[in-house]
Amino acid sequence: MTDVDYRPGAGPANGPGTTNLADILERVLDKGIVIAGDIKIDLLDIELLTIRLRLFVSSVETARKAGIDWWETDPALSSKAADSELRAENRQLRDRVAALESAEGNGSADSSRTKDTAAT
pLDDT value at residue 74? 75
Alpha helices (H) in 1-120, listed in sequence order: 21-31, 60-65, 70-73, 79-119
Q: pLDDT above 90 covers what percent of the chain?
A: 11
Task: Report residue 13's pLDDT band, with 50, 70 and 90 as the boundaries.
Answer: low
| Structure-model confidence comparison of residues 26 and 98, the more confident one | 98
What is the pLDDT, as a whole number, of residue 4? 56
pLDDT digits (tens, 9 = 90+) for 78-89: 777 677 788 888
Which residues, other chains included, contact 26 with Cβ-Cβ below 8 Å and sequence gap of 6+?
none
Residue 26: Cβ within 10 Å count: 13
Domain spans, the chain: 23-68, 69-113
pLDDT of 36 above 70? yes
| pLDDT at residue 108 tops 70 | no
